[in-house]
């Protein structure tokens, strides 16, 4: 694909999204900031560069589909969906409240743009495989993207799905693994070792790319390449940093599932207002 890509614009968007993500989680009083910040560059590139979709017509049969299998990172997804126009951004400030269209984990019945409800890990990936299978059998041109956490890859059903998608040659499917190295209670390699993670996907006969998941140019290239290569499903193992963008969140397991206090939020926003770091 030779589309003109404005990497600076994508970076600016992702930077702004980081601030909104932290604000809405603090407003909600709970949520998952760490994994939302690690995945936001990937989601930004996906929605504002790659995806063929029409937020005004979310049921368009040929739309590309996204499943956020790491459903706990939904604050990042909600911010992106709102910016795309799937719903009024005012809803972001109601996240996790009773009656909100934005539940603590994605609920397809409530939120426009959410293709499948997730929360329990591994589930969205299998559902994405079903969408890709339907697309193949119906001869539809859409692509399907499943966004997984690395800790999520400890779920056995992920590998059931990996076998299945390779067996059926679902080259319209791309799994993006947010390899931030940290799960709820510590480093993935200290809980249950995942490495060599990319080799695992290769061994399951997937087309695998390893990239820096915060480098917009690399993300764009990987998405483009995955969309062009035929015959096998695609995995993009994206090395990321949990809590990316805020010094005191980066690489800290403690912010997997904890909102920032008002004071912490002020410090984080001050850092982010100084612009993207390094």
Partner 1 sequence: MAITLARTAATKPTRDAYGEAIVEVARDNPRVVALTGDLRDSNRLEAFAAEYPDRFFECGIAEQNMVGVAAGLATCGKIPFVSSFAAFSPGRCYDQIRVLVAQTGLNVKLVSTHGGLTVGEDGMSAQAVEELAMMRSLARMTVIVPADAVETAQVIRAVAEHVGPVYVRLGRVGVPVLFDDSYRFSIGKAPVLRDGSDVTLAACGIMVAEALEAARLLEAEGISARVLNVSTLKPLDVTAILAAARETGAIVTAEEHTIYGGLGGAVCEMVAAHHPVGVERVGVQDRFGESGPPRPLMEAYGLTAGEIAAAARRAVSRKRAP
Residues near partner 1, by CB under 8 A: 65, 67, 107-109, 115-120, 122-135, 137-138, 156-157, 160-161, 163-164, 167
Q: Which residue lies nearer to partner 1 by CB, 135 or 245?
A: 135
Q: What angle do CA 168, 233, 212 make, to 5 degrees?
A: 165
Report the C-alpha gap between 103 and 97 in whole angstroms. 7
Q: Which residue lies nearer to partner 1 by CB, 138 or 199?
A: 138
Distance of closest approach, residue 123 Cβ to partner 1, in angstroms: 5
Report the C-alpha gap between 78 and 204 in whole angstroms. 32
Q: Which residue lies nearer to partner 1 by CB, 127 or 219?
A: 127
Distance of closest approach, residue 33 Cβ to partner 1, in angstroms: 23
Contacts of 152 (CB under 8 A, 6+ apart): 69, 70, 121, 122, 125, 158
Distances (CA, A) of 256 to 37, 181, 183: 10, 12, 7
Q: Which residue lies nearer to partner 1 by CB, 156 or 275?
A: 156
Q: Which residue lies nearer to partner 1 by CB, 62 or 199?
A: 62
Report the C-alpha gap between 19 and 36 in whole angstroms. 11
Distance of closest approach, residue 167 Cβ to partner 1, in angstroms: 8
Neighbours of 145 (CB within 10 A): 29
Report the C-alpha gap between 251 and 231 in whole angstroms. 36
Instruction: Name the CA dihedral angle for 216, 220, 223, 228, rounded to a multiple of 10 degrees.
Output: -160
Distance of closest approach, residue 40 Cβ to partner 1, in angstroms: 24
Distance of closest approach, residue 134 Cβ to partner 1, in angstroms: 4
Distance of closest approach, residue 107 Cβ to partner 1, in angstroms: 8
Contacts of 28 (CB under 8 A, 6+ apart): 95, 96, 97, 259
Q: Which residue lies nearer to partner 1 by CB, 119 or 251?
A: 119
Contacts of 189 (CB under 8 A, 6+ apart): 181, 195
Residue 187, classed as helix, strand or coil, is strand
Q: Which residue lies nearer to partner 1 by CB, 115 or 207?
A: 115
Phi then psi dihedrals of residue 32, to 5 deg = -125, 85
Distance of closest approach, residue 260 Cβ to partner 1, in angstroms: 28
Report the C-alpha gap between 43 and 274 in whole angstroms. 23
Q: Which residue lies nearer to partner 1 by CB, 118 or 240?
A: 118
Distance of closest approach, residue 72 Cβ to partner 1, in angstroms: 13
């Amino acid at each position: 694909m030779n589309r003109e890509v404005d990497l600076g614009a994508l970076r600016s968007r992702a930077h702004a999204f980081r601030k909104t993500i932290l604000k809405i989680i603090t407003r909600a009083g709970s949520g998952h900031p760490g994994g939302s910040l690690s995945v936001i560059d990937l989601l930004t590139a996906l929605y504002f560069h790659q995806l063929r979709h029409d937020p005004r017509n979310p049921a368009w049969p040929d739309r590309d589909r996204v499943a956020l299998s790491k459903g706990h990172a939904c604050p990042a997804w909600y911010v992106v969906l709102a910016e795309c126009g799937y719903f009024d951004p005012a809803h972001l400030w109601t996240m996790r409240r009773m009656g909100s269209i934005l539940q603590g984990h994605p609920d397809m019945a409530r939120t426009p743009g959410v293709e499948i409800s997730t929360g329990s890990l591994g589930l969205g990936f299998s559902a994405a495989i079903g969408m890709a299978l339907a697309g193949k059998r119906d001869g539809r041109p859409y692509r399907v993207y499943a966004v997984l956490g690395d800790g999520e890859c400890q779920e056995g059903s992920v590998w059931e799905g990996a076998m299945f998608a390779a067996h059926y040659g679902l080259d319209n499917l791309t799994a993006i693994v947010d390899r931030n190295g940290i799960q709820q209670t510590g480093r993935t390699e200290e809980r249950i070792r995942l490495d060599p993670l990319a080799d695992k996907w290769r061994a399951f006969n997937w087309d695998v790319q390893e990239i820096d998941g915060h480098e917009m140019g690399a993300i764009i290239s990987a998405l483009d390449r995955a969309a062009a290569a035929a015959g096998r499903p695609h995995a993009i193992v994206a090395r990321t940093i949990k809590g990316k963008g805020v010094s005191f969140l980066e690489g800290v397991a403690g912010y997997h599932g904890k909102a920032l206090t008002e004071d912490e939020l002020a410090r984080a926003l001050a850092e982010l207002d100084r612009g993207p770091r390094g």
